[in-house]
């Protein structure tokens, strides 16, 4: 040990100004952006939240007396929204499985993987609402437009998440399967899928949760379900009915969250 003591203890690591420059630039940039966006985002109007208290009070009164006379309609429409989410998510999962494998670096050669990734980025960048509008024109107003809008966006998101799961697998078991003389499809089926199955299921359930919320919003533009009822009652300033609808949505979405969380925690 004497040789260790003989040399002087080196000083703790320090960073020069040049090394810190990227950090400073990044933080400076963030603050400059916030300052520029202050005006256009109308942040200075925040006090309106309090000064417009008359409107808020009226709405608040409605909300303290929810009107559940039409509860059967609300529950039926909520169920419709959930069914839109179920089909939208399921179609997306079916599309995401092959797409994600094609988008994974460790499975697919780069000249296929890169274009598929790019395609997925494009698909993901289209918001549900815009897709919803397009499908409203294509298939007419109603739930199917909502299903299609959800499935396109969700398949982009899920394919990306699925492929990240595939890229982080342990390659050992895959090599174990490959060494038996298995075909590529068998390697995927027996070496890859069992490793990613819990994560994939978890992601799919999570997207189902968030799709139940998105499907509500899609109702606002005419894709059917509880969102449409909510939109109509808000337009009629019927705050008591709106309150009842909001409560139905909150309860339903919370139930779905709890259910899927329970399933997910058992999976992992």
Partner 1 sequence: MTDAAVLSIRNASKTFGDRRALDSVSLDVARGEMIALIGPSGSGKSTLLRSISALQTIDPGPGVITAFDGPVQKDGKIDSNVRQTRTRIGMIFQQFNLVGRLSLFTNVALGSLGRISFWRAALGMWPQETRLATMAALHRFGVSDYASQRANTLSGGQQQRGAIARALVQKAKIILADEPVASLDPVSARRVMDILRELNRNDGLTVVVTLHQVDYALRYCDRVVALKAGKVVYDGPASGLKTEQLIDIYGPEFEDVFWEGAPK
Tell me how crowded residue 49 is: count the other CB atoms within 10 A of its CB.
Answer: 9
Cα separation of 208 and 205, whole Å? 5
Nearest residue (CB) to partner 1, 102 versus 177: 177
What's the min distance (Å) between Cβ of 267 and partner 1?
A: 11
CA atoms within 13 A on the CB side of 235: 7
Nearest residue (CB) to partner 1, 195 versus 261: 195
DSSP string, 125-179: HS-HHHHHHHHHHHH-SSHHHHHHHHHHHHHHHHHHHHHHHHHTS-HHHHHHHHT
Cα separation of 37 and 53, whole Å? 27
What's the min distance (Å) between Cβ of 194 and partner 1?
A: 5
Cα separation of 215 and 261, whole Å? 19
Nearest residue (CB) to partner 1, 137 versus 185: 185
Nearest residue (CB) to partner 1, 174 versus 215: 174
What's the min distance (Å) between Cβ of 171 and partner 1?
A: 9
Give me the residues that bind partner 1 (CB under 8 A), please: 172-173, 175-183, 185-186, 189-191, 194-195, 197-198
Please say whether the beta carbons of 164 and 96 come within 8 A.
no
C-alpha pair distances (Å), 132 with each of 48, 73, 80, 152, 246: 32, 23, 16, 10, 22
Nearest residue (CB) to partner 1, 54 versus 179: 179
Cα separation of 99 and 119, whole Å? 10
What's the min distance (Å) between Cβ of 173 and partner 1?
A: 4
Nearest residue (CB) to partner 1, 95 versus 196: 196
């Amino acid at each position: 040990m004497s040789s260790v003591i003989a040399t002087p203890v080196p000083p703790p690591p320090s960073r020069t100004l040049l090394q810190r420059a990227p950090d400073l630039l990044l933080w400076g940039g963030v603050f400059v952006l916030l300052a520029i966006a202050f005006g256009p985002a109308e942040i200075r109007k925040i006090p309106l939240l309090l000064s417009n208290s008359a409107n808020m009070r009226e709405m608040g009164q409605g909300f303290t007396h929810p009107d559940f006379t039409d509860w059967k309609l609300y529950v039926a429409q909520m169920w419709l929204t959930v069914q839109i989410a179920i089909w939208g998510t399921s179609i997306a999962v079916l599309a995401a499985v092959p797409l994600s494998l094609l988008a994974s670096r460790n499975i697919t050669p780069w000249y296929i993987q890169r274009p598929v990734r790019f395609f997925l980025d494009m698909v993901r960048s289209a918001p549900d609402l815009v897709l919803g509008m397009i499908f409203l024109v294509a298939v007419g107003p109603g739930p199917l437009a909502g299903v299609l809008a959800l499935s396109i966006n969700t398949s982009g998101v899920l394919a990306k998440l699925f492929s990240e799961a595939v890229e982080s697998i342990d390659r050992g078991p895959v090599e174990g399967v490959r060494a038996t003389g298995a075909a590529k499809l068998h390697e995927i089926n027996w070496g890859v899928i069992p490793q990613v199955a819990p994560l994939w299921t978890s992601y799919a359930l999570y997207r189902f949760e968030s799709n139940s919320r998105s499907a509500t919003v899609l109702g606002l533009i005419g894709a059917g379900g509880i969102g449409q009822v909510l939109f109509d009652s808000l337009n009629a300033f019927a705050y008591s009915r709106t309150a009842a609808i909001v409560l139905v949505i909150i309860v339903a979405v919370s139930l779905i969250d709890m259910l899927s969380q329970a399933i997910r925690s058992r999976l992992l």
